[in-house]
């Protein structure tokens, strides 16, 4: 499905961008998708850390890269998108944390990034946009719960707009968040859930998936259709 990818790529491989790749959830998600055969580019302000993971994945036959991305800097975003086109081709999947609060410049940065990669998805008739709630990425603790709640509202507002834009386009929008903020959901569980959501053939409707922290290895989820 990726267009213009690296030599040896397959039409069945998806080109995936993961922002907040410095976080445990971001790293786990990028690694899982790369191992499943997708072409993955991780965006972070500390690419040297994610490049270590990317190197290990490439050594095992996966296609993964890390690039510098500062969501507070539009020029950084523009360079990151250009790198994505060169390294993995046309983007099929965007997984982003969208910042930590409604007033955070990262929210606007994530929207600037989305504005560049979503229109080609719509033109191709397929794609996925997955928004991660702030507490999954930042690990909200009680002092930051108010910020987390604000971030949730920002995500809900943004994804409602995406829903209207995506109707009939074949592009899917989803929110993934912890059912109980601060409950310490395992990153690997979140990565597994996201990989399942991205499976081809899943229905195209706006989805809210709440990950419930649990003592067993596999975290249960609550999924509901918003539309």
Map out the domains of the chain as residue ranges. Answer: 15-225
Of the listed ranges 22-36, 114-128, 201-215, the one predicted with least confidence: 201-215
Report the distance separating Cα 65 and Cα 84, nearest Å. 9
Distance of CA 216 to the CA centre of its chain: 25
Angle among Cα 52, 53, 55 to the nearest 5 degrees reads 65
pLDDT tens-digit series, residues 40-59:
999 998 899 899 999 999 99
pTM: 0.83
pLDDT of 6 reads 53
State the CATH architecture for 15-225.
Answer: 3-Layer(aba) Sandwich (3.40)
pLDDT tens-digit series, residues 69-103:
998 899 999 999 999 999 999 999 999 875 544 44
Question: How large is the average pLDDT for residues 148-167?
Answer: 74
pLDDT of 164 reads 81
């Amino acid at each position: 499905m990726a267009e213009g990818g690296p030599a040896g790529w397959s039409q069945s491989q998806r080109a995936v961008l993961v922002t907040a790749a410095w976080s445990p959830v971001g790293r786990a998600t990028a690694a899982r998708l790369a191992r499943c055969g997708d072409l993955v580019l991780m965006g972070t302000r500390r690419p040297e850390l994610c490049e270590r993971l990317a190197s290990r994945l490439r050594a095992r036959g996966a296609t993964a890269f890390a690039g510098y991305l500062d969501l507070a800097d539009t020029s950084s975003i523009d360079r990151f998108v250009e790198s994505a086109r060169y390294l993995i081709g046309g983007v099929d999947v965007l997984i982003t944390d969208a910042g930590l609060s409604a007033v955070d410049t990262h929210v606007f940065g994530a929207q600037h990034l989305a504005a560049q990669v979503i229109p080609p998805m719509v033109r191709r008739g397929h794609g996925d946009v997955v928004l991660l709630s702030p507490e999954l990425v930042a690990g909200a603790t009680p002092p930051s719960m108010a910020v987390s709640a604000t971030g949730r509202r920002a995500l809900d507002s943004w994804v409602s707009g995406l829903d209207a834009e995506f109707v009939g386009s074949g592009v899917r929008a989803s929110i993934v968040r912890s059912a109980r903020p601060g409950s310490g959901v395992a990153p690997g569980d979140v990565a597994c859930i996201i990989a399942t959501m991205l499976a081809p053939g899943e229905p195209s409707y706006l989805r809210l998936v709440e990950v419930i922290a649990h003592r067993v290895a596999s975290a249960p989820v609550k999924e509901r259709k918003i539309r």
